[in-house]
Structure 1
Amino acid sequence: MSRLKFNLLMASSVLASAVSVAPASYAQTSVDDEDKIVVTAQRREQSLQDVSVAVTVVTGDQLKDQGVTNINQLQNTAPNLEVEPAFGGGAAQFRLRGVGFQDYATNNAPTVGVYVNEVAFPVPVMTQGLIYDIERVEVLRGPQGTLYGRNTTGGAINFITKKPTEEFGAGIFAEYGRFNEFKTEGYISGPITESLRARISASTQQGGGWQHNRDTGEEIGDADRGGVRGLFEFEPTSNLEFLFDAHYSWDNSENQGLYLINDLTTQGGFGPTIPADADRSKTGWGVSPVLLADIGASPDRKPGRDNSGWGVSLNGALDLGGAILNSITSYESLDRSELGDWDSSASIEADTFFGSDVSVFSQEVRLSSDGEGALVWQVGLYYSKQDLNERYFSDFIDIFGTYGRVNYDQTVESVAIFGQAEYAISDQINLIAGLRLESEDRFLEGFGTAFGGATALPPTDVTTAMEPLTGKAGIEYTPTEDILLYASVSRGTKSGGFTTYNTGQESSIQPFAPEVLWAYEVGFKTDVIDNLTVNGAAFYYDYSNQQVLSAVYGENGPVGRFANAPQSKIYGAELELVWQPLPNLNIIQAFGYKEGEYVEFFDLDVPASRAADMAVYVDRAGEALPFPDFSYSGSASYLIDLGEYGVIAETNYSRRDFYPSWLGSTYDVDAYWLVNASVSISPANGPWSLGVWVRNVFDKEYDLTRNFFTSADIAQPGRPRTFGIRLSADI
């Protein structure tokens, strides 16, 4: 263990000793207070019920109840959201309302923007850190760009961490569960001087591996990750304030194992056949000595990662009297070393390595009104520069007799001017208009490949650029104080990019075009009665040049490559409900529905091409877009008042619909339900809470994703039933 991690763990232990009792009065937030939930979805503080955007808010306590420790697990908390792990690795593939981008490489932009304390993380693999000390998460659906520095077609996920407090406080949260999984987080917060406040938080997650090598019995899947964050609020004058954020994270976790969904005939038919796994807890690996030597890893290294990242940001706000000037300067860095075994066997059919050095600098400046009067406005300027140095190695020695190496650099520079204005033409009608002009250049530099040590593609440079004009127009109507009706049309765009997989052909790395999305939405937000809130939205998306993972047919069969589907469409709806039928009973429900189809797309048929051993093409016009149609989630909690103590019984549940794969029915993911439950006790006005929890109560067997790589048909399974205890304490 590194000295830094040891010191952090010792600090957590000291904090736990100092805080022997913990926080959380058993009082619950009632629905009567729901309209007081404050969000910053539109870059200013507003009541959730006053925002004419489809947005789901998840609190930090709700994340803990559901056992959410990374962004991938958010898919069970918001309607029409999916986060798919690529090949069981560390790259998250986000999809909101069916708008997503499936890519296991590092270099392309996502359709869903991820922000932490207003700082964008435009490289998906940078979002894989541990989630801790969170105030709330806001999930915005639909194109974003007139209020945000970055432009996205799918939506945005905003993480807002807890801020320094005006009075001293400290706390600890810890839980221990099945498979020796341990997670703890702690914080210290309070004033340093009259004008300076600080908050230091740290967290670590250990253990939890539940799979075993089918041949040796060796365990895999233990977590070893953590992070530390320091926040400093400084108010030198009454109209000027700064928030400085410095953070560091590490992840030395073992990968979750994949399992074989079909028999694997190894070594191109000349090796032994490994039967399909009937038990999802079984997996296999056997990393090539050539690959391990090439990356400088020890001979006994398991598939896993050795990642670390750090970042700093400075957010300043100056009240000019009638207008507010904001400046956000940030720098984020990731050093990634990730080893994968995508054939789930001891055979060397598909062993992979990603070595990524990523850095992102951004500067955003916004000038906005102070919210007074009929006109509310904001204008902003955004600059970002991303630098990526990537090594992608893959060993196919037992099936193709070769070893592939891909090396390249990529630089992305973006400049954008954006703004949005709202004007109240009456007490009931509000008009909204926004525009964004952006210029982005992507440079793929020195992209070269080699197979078996022989150059397949010499270092090659490719570029792509875009200058889209996007925007939004909308109308809000409030017939009564408790009802908001709205309609909007917006245009979003996602960057073009490059397919950076193994290839010996220059044509394979030629850029794919940006995608453009016209989004039409109507919605409502209502506080129907004092104890019931119902929000809903319906949408229709008109897609041009949708970026889809397709393939080209090479000498070894189909090879993944991104293509543009000329026309497609998506439509659907969401409904969210918060209800308090009894004083001590809270119920939350969320439902999502979406469908989509290609209108125009001529594509390579991968299953047919593999079966025919030649390229076979198909007209996909009229075919459904491959994503789940329905999503459903909810929770219920009940407070049992025992006088000096209170007991809260809570359950949360979610259903993911059948997920059809574009690769063929073998890779379809069946629908599944997940149910979690917990019971906790705390004093009525006391500082501690003690509880027990069960996740995946009914021990449902399910898959998160299915895929193939070379000869292996594989799947990443979801976790089985787990249970444990937890303690939280504040002073």
Structure 2
Amino acid sequence: MRFNNILRCTASAAVVGVVAFGFAGGAAAQEGPTTVDDIIVTAQKREQNLQDVPIVVTTLSQEALNGAGVRDIKDLQILTPGMTVTSTQSEASTTARIRGVGTVGDNPGLESSVGVVIDGVYRSRNGVGFGDLGELSRIEVLKGPQGTLFGKNTSAGVINIITEAPSFTPGFNAEATYGNFNAWGIAGSVTGPITDQIAGRLYVAKRERDGFYDVNLGDGPRTETDDQNQDFWTARGQLLILPSDEVSIRLIADYSKRDEYCCVATQIRTGPTYAFIDALSTGTGQAPPAAGFGKLPFSRTAYANRGTGQEMEDMGLSAEANIDIAKWNATLTSVTSWRDWSTVNGMDLDYTGADILYRANDGSYGFELDTLTQEFRLAGATDKLDWLVGVFMTRENISRADSYSYGADYTPFLSFLLTSQLNAANPAIPISPGIIGCLTRPGTTAAGLGGCLVTGGASPAGPTQATGPGFGLGLGVSDHYSQRSDSIALFTNNTWHVTDKFDVTLGLRYTQDKKRLLAVQDNVGTNGAACGGTLANLTALATVLGGAGGAAAGLPTAQRIAGNICLPWANALYDNRRISEETDDGELSGTIKASYRFNDSVMGYGSFARGYKSFGYNLDRVQNGITPVNSLLFPSETVDSYELGLKNTLFNRSVLLNLTYFHQTFQDFQLNTFLGTAFVVESIPELKSQGFDADFVWFTPIEGLSFTSGLTYTDTKYGDFVAGDLTNPGNFPQLSLLPGARASFAPEWSATGSVAFDRSIGAGLKVGFNLTAKYSTEFNTGSDLLPYKMQDAMTLVNGRITLGTEDDRWALDIWAQNLTDEEYVQVAINAPLQGSAFQTTVQPNGTYYNPALDTQTYDAFLGQPRTYGATLRVKY
């Protein structure tokens, strides 16, 4: 059990993926495995052959990752069936999903359903994996709940990333890349001994690229005419210290800096508000509507008058120490880490060329995560028992600043919305900013208010008709949230070798979480006064609108009008609102597995796992109607998962064929959904995910040629529920399509495949080829499941051709990502304030959605187009 010896040779370890494999993936190709026996994983914190582990694991080697062009976790999805990775209004809000289960990441108070672990250190949000991961040894994707061994509990899976460790053999790698969209990048690393007992490794990279979107600037003042560019650099330094044969220490320090602009959204359906938005914009406000307000053709032109600058900084330190204890035949492991991740963003909140709402990139919008973790593990083995016990502790501090700023077009646009509601039968009523002053002025009688409405908002002259408060320009909201999370967990994972063929594994983990939230929600200056005035005039407005029916008849419409004036960023009830909440909770999670090896080639297993994702706080303005909710707390999420699997190693250990059936039931599933004005976490009572995974690898008799494929079938659906089953029943109208329906980002079928070939051609040269593809059936990209948010079935293809020397001294890659230029949507959203999809009253068909009444404009964050280029690599 000499861990120092293992670490010494880490740099030369190569692992084939069960879903993708390619000898020719990169110029610096390592000697890859030639049989299934060479596929090694650490899914149970021990090095084991994949076929001996009773878990669904997709393990991807350095060759496979290079061959498919994987640099971050978003690239990773092309190699993993049943996995999707998306980002929306900022790349800080990147979300991974496995088997159709995950949670949109735009709310920093929400932990990830799919955890990311890099070199043994748990990363608390998926967005940290969206960047250059550096030199990778391998990546393991564990499907299903992981409630025992990987830091914080995760309910849907884990992405376990292992980077290259320092080597005592001197080495140098460098690469230079150029591609379309003016993409260029340089990267290099050096490794070798510093002393007889210390080895080091340093990796540095810099990459830039123009944006994928063309941007119509509308009113300005934005100046960037493209969006979703790339401009970052990263560095990672490591030391491997071997003070004795019994002790090894690995120290890692890393830093990344991004200074980019992202992310605009394009219109995929423009609704009836188009004419007014276009009139307000000095240029074109948004894409003109299709006939009958139907779906628009795919376009990469976006409309944004405000900047989308994003600045991200990620830094951290970690130390892993392993101490062999000979008399116990055991190893003590300590993993300590400190990380700090921050982001500051700008945003055009209306996604149009009109100047309605925005967030300035001045530090008033962004968040910071500061995390400290400590893990101790003691692991050993006897003839009959592999045992492990440990403790994991973490403290996480979240600091979030939120802001909304009013543009010059906010008041006239809101006036348009109000007059449309006041007289839907006659949209020709004049639109005037004065209508807001009329509705909000203090002491208005029903008669006076009626006179104001008759003139369409142009306040009549006279001392009794003085205008009321409205909305100014610039900053209107300044909110600050501070959340501290403390977690401690005790865990054990043990495998009993009952016989030479029969193993039983038991893993248990008890987690105690404690979280405290302090927040101040405040409207800047007199913002909120317009809402206060409207609420004071609510009875008078209802009386006018009710006519002969009186105030009771007019109250629903009056409340809708008040709701539009008292939107979360303008609600007077948030004036200097202070929040203090504290909650603690404990949960037992774990797993039991039984595996039986029928012969050297076939192993069967069955397992049960209990997963857990911690409760949290919704770090946003959340209201029921126009009343702020009393508590921002949402409960913990749990999952019970069952699996039956068969692992086959066939044809003289040259073919891998693994089949797994799974059935997962989630309770209190944490659905983070955008309600058009805020992100709200709602606990869905039940979500079920069931289906099967199949993985295939074939090392062909032809030297250097291999085929791999993977297939996942998922039936992921919400249980039936009604409004009373929700934490906030008022959210049900906008979630009314969910009961009994297939969840978003859950394609029924997902398949991957690759072919790789690597062969010497004489004169000291070799040529390589890699083609990787992924197919997904249709799926919905919106958490509310509106029909306009469906993504059709699609296929993505990456390819690479390599020419280089047999000793890997140099190689030239010609590569392409999304080779067929597939046009697809990552995530579709409701454009803020631009129409309505869900009605506030029950329709005759018994639902809250009626396509004939859908006036919503829909926006979408798009997938990347075809990119291509060349990479020159050298190695010494």
Q: Say yes or no: TM over 0.5.
A: yes
The question of 1:391 aligning with 2:464 is answered: no
The question of 1:448 aligning with 2:521 is answered: yes
The question of 1:729 aligning with 2:874 is answered: yes
Matched ranges for 1:247-646 at <5 A: 247-263=254-270, 265=273, 271=280, 274-276=286-288, 278=297, 280-287=299-306, 302-321=307-326, 322-352=329-359, 354-369=365-380, 371-395=381-405, 397=407, 398=410, 399-400=413-414, 401=471, 403-450=476-523, 453-454=527-528, 456-457=573-574, 458-503=577-622, 505-507=627-629, 509-530=631-652, 531-550=654-673, 559-581=678-700, 582-603=702-723, 618=736, 620-626=738-744, 627-643=746-762, 644-646=764-766
Post-superposition shift, 1:614? Answer: 11
- Residue identity matched to 2:666: Y
Post-superposition shift, 1:340? Answer: 2.3
Whether contact under 8 Å (1:551, 1:604) holds in the other structure is: no
SS in 2 for 1:274: coil
> Whole-Å Cα distance in 2 between the matches of residues 218 and 568 of structure 1?
42
- Residue identity matched to 1:171: N
Greater CA drift, 559-568 or 436-445: 559-568
- Residue identity matched to 1:569: K
SS in 1 for 2:791: coil
Cα distance change, pair 633–395 in 1 and its aligned pair in 2 (3 A): farther
SS in 2 for 1:729: strand
Aligned equivalent of 2:230, options 223, 227, 235: 223
- Residue identity matched to 1:501: D
> Whole-Å Cα distance in 1 between the matches of residues 659 and 733 of structure 2?
45
Whether contact under 8 Å (1:153, 1:493) holds in the other structure is: yes
Aligned equivalent of 1:701, options 805, 823, 832: 823
Whether contact under 8 Å (1:637, 1:648) holds in the other structure is: yes
Cα distance change, pair 723–270 in 1 and its aligned pair in 2 (3 A): closer
> Whole-Å Cα distance in 1 between the matches of residues 631 and 88 of structure 2?
20
Post-superposition shift, 1:508? Answer: 6.3
For residues 463-489 of structure 1, give each alpha carbon's deviation from its aligned partner in whole angstroms, at most 9, with x where no partner exists: 332201111111011111222211100
SS in 2 for 1:234: strand
> Whole-Å Cα distance in 1 between the matches of residues 796 and 51 of structure 2?
29
Whether contact under 8 Å (2:147, 2:154) holds in the other structure is: yes
The question of 1:651 aligning with 2:774 is answered: no
> Whole-Å Cα distance in 2 between the matches of residues 703 and 724 of structure 1?
24
Post-superposition shift, 1:632? Answer: 1.3
Post-superposition shift, 1:447? Answer: 4.1
Cα distance change, pair 172–551 in 1 and its aligned pair in 2 (3 A): closer
Post-superposition shift, 1:695? Answer: 2.1
- Residue identity matched to 1:211: Y
Post-superposition shift, 1:346? Answer: 2.2
Aligned equivalent of 2:140, options 127, 138, 141: 138
Matched ranges for 1:32-71 at <5 A: 32-71=34-73
> Whole-Å Cα distance in 2 between the matches of residues 693 and 427 of structure 1?
47
Greater CA drift, 397-406 or 331-340: 397-406
- Residue identity matched to 2:316: G
Greater CA drift, 652-661 or 392-401: 392-401
Post-superposition shift, 1:28? Answer: 6.4
Whether contact under 8 Å (2:228, 2:260) holds in the other structure is: yes
Post-superposition shift, 1:704? Answer: 1.4
> Whole-Å Cα distance in 2 between the matches of residues 447 and 359 of structure 1?
20
For residues 123-143 of structure 1, give each alpha carbon's deviation from its aligned partner in whole angstroms, at most 9, with x where no partner exists: 333333322111111100111
Cα distance change, pair 188–424 in 1 and its aligned pair in 2 (3 A): same
Q: Which residue does 2:198 correspond to in 1?
A: 196
What is the CA RMSD across the aligned residues, in angstroms? 2.7
Q: Which residue does 1:291 correspond to in 2?
A: none
Post-superposition shift, 1:619? Answer: 8.1
For residues 278-305 of structure 1, give each alpha carbon's deviation from its aligned partner in whole angstroms, at most 9, with x where no partner exists: 4532112212xxxxxxxxxxxxxx3121
> Whole-Å Cα distance in 1 between the matches of residues 402 and 655 of structure 2?
52
Matched ranges for 1:2-13 at <5 A: none
Q: Which residue does 2:240 correspond to in 1?
A: 233
Aligned-residue identity in percent:
24
The gaps in structure 2 that reach 5 residues or longer are 1-24, 219-223, 289-295, 415-470, 529-571, 835-856
The gaps in structure 1 that reach 5 residues or longer are 1-21, 288-301
Post-superposition shift, 1:205? Answer: 1.4
Q: Which residue does 1:7 correspond to in 2?
A: none
Q: Which residue does 1:297 correspond to in 2?
A: none
Whether contact under 8 Å (1:145, 1:418) holds in the other structure is: no
Whether contact under 8 Å (2:662, 2:690) holds in the other structure is: yes
- Residue identity matched to 1:239: E
For residues 82-113 of structure 1, give each alpha carbon's deviation from its aligned partner in whole angstroms, at most 9, with x where no partner exists: 11213354211221122211231212111111
Q: Which residue does 2:539 correspond to in 1?
A: none
Cα distance change, pair 549–339 in 1 and its aligned pair in 2 (3 A): same
Whether contact under 8 Å (2:369, 2:396) holds in the other structure is: yes
The question of 1:687 aligning with 2:806 is answered: no
> Whole-Å Cα distance in 2 between the matches of residues 237 and 622 of structure 1?
60
Post-superposition shift, 1:585? Answer: 1.8
> Whole-Å Cα distance in 2 between the matches of residues 614 and 473 of structure 1?
37
State the aligned residue count: 686
Q: Which residue does 2:553 correspond to in 1?
A: none
- Residue identity matched to 2:621: N
Post-superposition shift, 1:546? Answer: 1.4
* TM score, norm. by length of structure 2: 0.74
Cα distance change, pair 205–34 in 1 and its aligned pair in 2 (3 A): farther
Q: Which residue does 2:114 correspond to in 1?
A: 112
Whether contact under 8 Å (1:604, 1:616) holds in the other structure is: no
SS in 2 for 1:450: coil
Cα distance change, pair 349–483 in 1 and its aligned pair in 2 (3 A): farther
Whether contact under 8 Å (1:342, 1:352) holds in the other structure is: yes
Whether contact under 8 Å (1:23, 1:686) holds in the other structure is: no
Which protein is bigger by CA-based radius of gyration?
2
* TM score, norm. by length of structure 1: 0.88
Q: Which residue does 2:418 correspond to in 1?
A: none
Whether contact under 8 Å (2:378, 2:388) holds in the other structure is: yes
Whether contact under 8 Å (1:602, 1:617) holds in the other structure is: no
The question of 1:29 aligning with 2:32 is answered: yes
> Whole-Å Cα distance in 1 between the matches of residues 863 and 387 of structure 2?
45
For residues 383-439 of structure 1, give each alpha carbon's deviation from its aligned partner in whole angstroms, at most 9, with x where no partner exists: 100001101223354245574333110111001001111000100000111111110
Post-superposition shift, 1:26? Answer: 6.8
More helix, by proportion: 2
Cα distance change, pair 507–551 in 1 and its aligned pair in 2 (3 A): farther
Q: Which residue does 1:244 correspond to in 2?
A: 251
For residues 143-183 of structure 1, give each alpha carbon's deviation from its aligned partner in whole angstroms, at most 9, with x where no partner exists: 11222221111111111110111111011122211111112
Post-superposition shift, 1:506? Answer: 4.0
Post-superposition shift, 1:638? Answer: 2.3
- Residue identity matched to 2:650: V
Whether contact under 8 Å (2:479, 2:519) holds in the other structure is: no
Post-superposition shift, 1:686? Answer: 4.1
- Residue identity matched to 1:576: D
Cα distance change, pair 685–105 in 1 and its aligned pair in 2 (3 A): same
- Residue identity matched to 1:307: M
Greater CA drift, 336-345 or 141-150: 336-345
> Whole-Å Cα distance in 2 between the matches of residues 721 and 680 of structure 1?
19
SS in 2 for 1:500: coil
Whether contact under 8 Å (2:92, 2:343) holds in the other structure is: no
More strand, by proportion: 1
SS in 2 for 1:600: coil
